[in-house]
Every structure is written in C-alpha cells, then in structure tokens.
Amino acid sequence: MSWKKVFAVIRREYLERVRTKAFWIGTFLVPIFFLGYIAINIASFKKSGGERRVAVVDMTGRLYQPLARDLVEREEKVKKDAGRGQGVHWVLEARPVSGSLEQTKETLRREVLGKKLNVYLILDPALLEKSQVQYYSVTVSEFVAMSQLERAVNHILLKEKIERRGLPPELSSELEKRIDLKTLKVTAKGSTEEKGAGIFAAMIFMILMYTTFFMYGFQNLRGVIEEKTSRIVELIIASVRPTELMLGKIVGIGCVGLTQYLIWSLIAANLSLPGVAGMVAAGEMGVPTIPVSAVLNNPNGPVATFVSLFPLTSPLMMFLRTAVAEPPVWQVALSMVILALSTVAMAWIAGRIYRVGILMYGKKPTIPEILRWVRYKPGQAPQPAAAKAT
C-alpha cells in the first residue's frame, strides 16, 4: 500500500468538501437551529403561565375554599422565585350540582368548548376514596398547570386527613417536604458538584455525532456512486489501488466531520453550553425527563463496558461513558485501538469489494457473490461470479 497515494486521496476528498458553500452553511445552521430550539423552550416555559378559569364541582362541600387558598399561596410563592416564569393565575369558581351530575358536566363541557372556562374539576367523594379527581379540559398537555393543581389537591387532602386525626394542621407542610439530594461526582482530582450540565452536553454531542455519522457515511456512498456512474473511477483505479482509494475516502470524509465537530465545540465553548445545560438540568425550561439507557444508569456495568468496546457502538458509548463516569484508562485505550484496527479492517474489506463491484454493471450482487469478491485474488483464482458486465 502506498501511503503517499492514500494521503493524496485524503487531501482531495477533504478539500473538495470543505471548500463548498454547503459545508459552511450546514456547519453554522446546526448551532443556529439548536439555539433556536433552546430559545423556544425557554420562551414557551415563561409563557406557560397565564390565567386559568376553573370551575370546581365540590361534591364534598368542604374542599373548595381550602383549594382556592392553597392555589393563591402557591401563586404568590412562584412570583417570589426569580427566573421561574410568570406562573399560572388561577381563577376558581364553585359550581353546585344542578340536576344530576351528568347534566352539570354537560353544562360545563359546553362552557369549556365556548371558551368561557379552561377547566372543570370534579371532586367526587366516591372517587376521592380511590385517590382520584376528574380533570376536564380541551388541552390535557399543560403539564405545568396540571402539576400545580395536582399538588394543591394532594396537599389539601393530606391536611384534611391530618386534622381529622387531631394532629396539628402545620404537619402537612412538614410531611410534604422532600430531601434535596446534592450530587457530587468523585474523580481522581477530588469531588465536584454535578447538576446534570455535563450529561446534557454529552447527550447533545452524542446526538450530533450519531447524525453526522450517517450524513458522512451517505456522502461516502454517494461519492462512490457518482464516480461509478460517470466512469471516472475507471481512470482513477489505473493509478490507485481500490483499497488505497477506499481508505482515503473514509479518512478524508471523516476529517471533514472532525472539522465540523471542532467548529461546533468552539461555538459551544463561546456560548457557554454548560450554562444552557444547567438551566435544563435545573428544570427551568420545563423539559420532560427523558428515559436513559443502561449506559447512564450503570456506566461501569457489563452492558456499558461491552457497547463502549464494540467497534460499531464505541464511538458514541465510550464518549458518553467518559462524560458521566471515569472508566478505566485501559478500557479507553483498548476502545481506541479496537476502533482503529476495525476501521483499517473494514477499509480493507470494503476495498476488496470495491475493486470488483466498481466495474460491475447490471443486476445487484448477492451476499455469496460479495463474499467471493472479498476472497478473490487476481492471478491466483478465476474471476468470481458477479453481475454481468455490459
């Protein structure tokens, strides 16, 4: 193998793509779209408040007033917390059961559809015994408002149960307090507080890597197809071996991706991505919790170790492991060695397939034919069965 020719192919593939307008437009559009997404989330959270007109059908006759007071207290508390959005302004009105419960529901349903009400709440003693409350609204995705209303109902019910047993009413607030678990990441240099910013940043870059792997893999495929279609490859392989050409293409296009990652990293560093991630981790943007994989749940477990060493998944999983934990240095080194050897091996296999397939036209080759292409040695065995040349 002539490395001089490989580097010539790498240089050609790299410069051919980096000098295009599409590369630079795409490189800067991705951060713009990402920042736009973050800005939309922040703006939508800040505007998640507003007025909510709620009709409460209190069939117990004793929960409406406590619920109204509790919501007022929660609204005042939200207003005092800086940077938590404007909150929800609750406008409650008591509605008695007129006729039957179903008739009352039908009346309230028409008012909701007529936009006179946003919500109507049914406090039925029979359902309360089952810890259930009926919430009716045109929109059932207002999670911030629904969560606040749910906590208020739970609080007044807990307070009522405590008073019923002759205990101090203030005990309900004490029972509802939750422990704030302060997380500290232990490293070789000491312990640092981890609020989720690093994990969130790692997830962002992992998604970008996953996307660009497919994007640049497709570019490699498209380049081969274009060369084959235009018959240029017939001239290229006269001076470059197919394996050298394929390896140069893979490395050259990979360097284009690395250039893009470098630019994105510089942009992220200047825009303080960890700061934005901290806002998300602190819950200031109202982003729902995303289920995490076994790597996040147990970054040093057997599953995480395997996928971080397996060459098809190691570029993403080892990157994620190093962000959430500190895997052994030998595992990181082994992952890099396996990945490098796998890249060379796949380039060699692809080159052997490429040298035969690039000159074949007609029907699509079968898997057995492709395997014969890999084993084929010019001058030592007859030409393997393949699609008929035209």
- Of 124 and 359, which is predicted with more confidence? 124
My answer on whether 197 and 76 are in the same domain is no
- For residue 201, give its domain range: 192-359
- CA–centroid distance for 326 within its chain: 22
- CA distances to 145, 157, 282 from 151, rounded to whole Å, are 10, 10, 19
pLDDT of residue 111: 92
Whether the Cβ atoms of residue 135 and residue 148 lie closer than 8 Å to each other: no
Q: Average pLDDT in the 353-372 region?
A: 76
CATH number of the structural domain spanning residue 57: 3.40.190.10
Q: Which pLDDT tens digit goes with each residue over 240-261?
A: 777 777 778 888 888 888 888 7
My answer on whether 347 and 219 are in the same domain is yes
DSSP, residue by residue, 181-248: ---EEEETTEEEE--SHHHHHHHHHHHHHHHHHHHHHHHHHHHHHHHHHHTTHHHHTTTS-HHHHHHH
Q: What is the DSSP letter of 168?
A: -
Q: Average pLDDT in the 73-98 region?
A: 76
My answer on whether 165 and 197 are in the same domain is no
pLDDT of residue 43: 63
Q: Is residue 204 part of a domain?
A: yes
My answer on whether 162 and 215 are in the same domain is no
Contacts of residue 256, Cβ cutoff 8 Å, sequence gap at least 6 = 13, 14, 17, 18, 23, 216
pLDDT of residue 234: 66
Q: Is residue 5 part of a domain?
A: no
Q: Average pLDDT in the 263-280 region?
A: 59
My answer on whether 212 and 283 are in the same domain is yes
Residue 274: is its pLDDT beyond 50? no
pLDDT of residue 344: 82
Q: Is residue 29 part of a domain?
A: no
My answer on whether 229 and 289 are in the same domain is yes
My answer on whether 102 and 221 are in the same domain is no
Q: What is the mean pLDDT of the chain?
A: 76
Q: Average pLDDT in the 313-330 region?
A: 80
Q: Choose one of 152, 176, 200: the last residue of a domain.
A: 176
Distance, in Å, from the CA atom of 361 to the CA atom of 373, rounded to the nearest integer, reads 15
For residue 122, the cross-strand partners are: 57, 134
Q: Average pLDDT in the 335-354 region?
A: 84
My answer on whether 220 and 271 are in the same domain is yes
Q: Is residue 309 part of a domain?
A: yes
Q: Is residue 70 part of a domain?
A: yes
Q: Is residue 39 part of a domain?
A: no
My answer on whether 201 and 116 are in the same domain is no
pLDDT of residue 196: 59
Residue 30: is its pLDDT beyond 50? yes
pLDDT of residue 278: 46
pLDDT of residue 108: 92
pLDDT > 90: what percent of the chain?
9
Residue 271: is its pLDDT beyond 70? no
pLDDT of residue 81: 67
Residue 334: is its pLDDT beyond 90? yes
pLDDT of residue 270: 63
Residue that is written with structure tokens 């006269």 in the block: 238
pLDDT of residue 337: 93
Distance, in Å, from the CA atom of 62 to the CA atom of 326, rounded to the nearest integer, reads 56
My answer on whether 337 and 260 are in the same domain is yes
- Of 19 and 291, which is predicted with more confidence? 19
**Structural domains of the chain, count:** 2
Residue that is written with structure tokens 């560093």 in the block: 269
- Of 168 and 190, which is predicted with more confidence? 168
Q: Is residue 236 part of a domain?
A: yes
pLDDT of residue 288: 36
pLDDT of residue 51: 80
Q: Choose one of 176, 206, 225: the last residue of a domain.
A: 176
Split at pLDDT 50, 70, 90, the class of 221 is confident
Residue 289: is its pLDDT beyond 50? no
My answer on whether 282 and 354 are in the same domain is yes
Whether the Cβ atoms of residue 376 and residue 384 lie closer than 8 Å to each other: yes
Q: Which pLDDT tens digit goes with each residue over 96-149?
A: 988 888 999 999 999 999 988 989 999 998 888 888 899 998 877 777 788 888
pLDDT of residue 386: 47
Q: Which pLDDT tens digit goes with each residue over 190-213?
A: 666 665 566 666 777 777 777 777
pLDDT of residue 382: 46
My answer on whether 165 and 222 are in the same domain is no
Q: Is residue 55 part of a domain?
A: yes
For 119, the 3-state DSSP assignment is: strand
Is 181 exposed, middle or buried, given 0-12, 13-18 or 19+ CB atoms closer than 10 A?
Answer: exposed
pLDDT > 70: what percent of the chain?
73
Q: Choose one of 176, 205, 230: the last residue of a domain.
A: 176
- For 329, the token pair is 């240095």
